[in-house]
C-alpha cells in the first residue's frame, strides 16, 4: 500500500517568484531611464527569498507509513520525528485569511505523552489531511495515496 505524502504548498512560493519578477522588470525599466546599475541587481536579489523557501520545501516532507507518521526536514543536516498513529490525540487545522484565500493551512498534531506539538505549515487541503490522519489514527492503519 503506497504511503501518503504531504509537503508544504507551492502557492506562496510561486507568488513570491511572480512578485520578484515584477519588481525586477520594473527595476530594469527604471535602469533604462535612470541609468542606475544597482537597481536591477538589488531587484534580482529578491529572487533569493522564494528560492530559499522553494529549497526548504523540497526537503520537508510528512509521510504516513503504515501505523507511523514521519516528519522529515533539513538539507545538510536532517531532523526526523516519528509518531505512532495510535498515539495521536488531536489534529488541529489553523488558517489565516491569506491561507484561506489560497486554500492552504497549518496542521498541528498532538500525541499522548508528548509535551510539544508537531506543526506543519502551509499545506494544501489541510482539513482533508487532518481528517485522514485522525481516521488513520483511529483505525490503526495508514491510508494509501499521495497528496
pLDDT score, position 5: 93
Q: What is the pLDDT along the chain (147 residues), one digit of tens a residue?
A: 458 899 999 999 999 999 999 988 888 887 777 777 777 777 788 899 999 999 999 999 999 988 999 999 998 999 999 999 999 999 999 999 999 999 999 999 998 876 678 999 999 999 999 999 999 888 754 444 434
Residue carrying C-alpha cell 490503526: 140
Distances (CA, A) of 83 to 24, 31, 114, 134: 44, 54, 10, 13
Query: Residue 135 corresponds to which cell in the numbers above?
Result: 481516521
Q: How far apart, in whole angstroms, are the C-alpha atoms of residue 108 and residue 94?
A: 8
Query: From CA 36, how far away is CA 141, in angstroms rounded?
Result: 61
| pLDDT value of position 144 | 44
Fold of 1-147: PH-domain like (2.30.29)
Measured CA angle at 37 (ends 31, 39), to 5 deg: 65
Domain ranges of the chain: 1-147
Amino acid at each position: 500500500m503506497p504511503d501518503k505524502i504531504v509537503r508544504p504548498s507551492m502557492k506562496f512560493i510561486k507568488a513570491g517568484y511572480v512578485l520578484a519578477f515584477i519588481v525586477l522588470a520594473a527595476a530594469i525599466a527604471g535602469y533604462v531611464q535612470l541609468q542606475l546599475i544597482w537597481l536591477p541587481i538589488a531587484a534580482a536579489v529578491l529572487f533569493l527569498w522564494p528560492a530559499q523557501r522553494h529549497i526548504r520545501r523540497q526537503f520537508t516532507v510528512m509521510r504516513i507509513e503504515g501505523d507511523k507518521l514521519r516528519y522529515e526536514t533539513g538539507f545538510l543536516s536532517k531532523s526526523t520525528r516519528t509518531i505512532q498513529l495510535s498515539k495521536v490525540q488531536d489534529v488541529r487545522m489553523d488558517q489565516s485569511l491569506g491561507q484561506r484565500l489560497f486554500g492552504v493551512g497549518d496542521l498541528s498534531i498532538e500525541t499522548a505523552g508528548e509535551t510539544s506539538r508537531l506543526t506543519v505549515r502551509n499545506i494544501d487541503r489541510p482539513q482533508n489531511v487532518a481528517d485522514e490522519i485522525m481516521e488513520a489514527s483511529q483505525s490503526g492503519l495508514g491510508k494509501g495515496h499521495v497528496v
